Structure 1
């Protein structure tokens, strides 16, 4: 039985520009959880190291693990953690487990809200004002759109039956035609947040 006095970890996962940060903000507003979107570590590191370089990778993952550990040990009600996950890459699955480990060790709930949306809608969202304000590396829209298309072609960014082993801890929502508040409301209700 999960410990209801320890923070809940809610991963919001899905492909680029699906709305993870915006939905995460809406969940945080309803629950008092803190939002930790993936670009909070990416953007500062890009000022120092190229994306994907050994230094970038090491620091990015170390920072995320440390933040996860501190949040799990805190009196926060919960943490919303957004990320892109390649379901065909065992290293990505291992990283997600490393981020979740401090919460699991404390007996906390670890949940997965997975978003999917049509690629055309995600390309529109890729130029959204809030996205570009929070994620300066996405402001070169030609590059960013190309990166989105490339990631879609190369990686499996939505699950199929990957969560069959965690009944009740996973919710998949196609938010192609849904507002972030509606998605957040469904997630809060579904998980009992």
Structure 2
């Protein structure tokens, strides 16, 4: 079930009625290095969870889609990242929300996996749309904009996958923008939801609810 925390954020930040669905295609981009001990690839779901029914018919095709993304390793990290994605209309209405999981060993890998999952889902579910993708990862934005270098092989492979997906968008129809973490709380909550919700973190800290 969708956690009360996510439901509260959806109620506060967007018009959305959560309802569990399965997305049509796998969204987790593979990482060539194996997950950390204790997590096998067979344990990772190969489908995202779509937490609201699509209402794209209410959005004009000429508008930009606003896509917020986030990835988290959770706590403790187990070699798998939670991925959160929120699709809004240009006017701010929530169209769809997703959460899923993918292999990742570092926070940067988790952020790239979230971006790759979002790009694949947008290409599949909302083709031929202008997309403005918002992330709180400065490094991912700077690397994909050619400002920062990609120095490790696992990140290089994820970078190349993301770059190839971005290049499939026609010119001037895709933007990747960094936003402050405080403005990305719902995508962050969805990423945690994929790993069992924030209650897992509270249990780890010994906090009773």
Short-chain TM bin: 0.3 to 0.5
Question: Between Structure 1 and Structure 2, which shows a larger proportion of strand residues?
Answer: 2
Per the normalisation by structure 1, the TM-score is 0.33
RCO comparison, higher one (Cα < 8 Å, 6+) = 1
Question: Between Structure 1 and Structure 2, which shows a larger proportion of helix residues?
Answer: 1
Per the normalisation by structure 2, the TM-score is 0.32
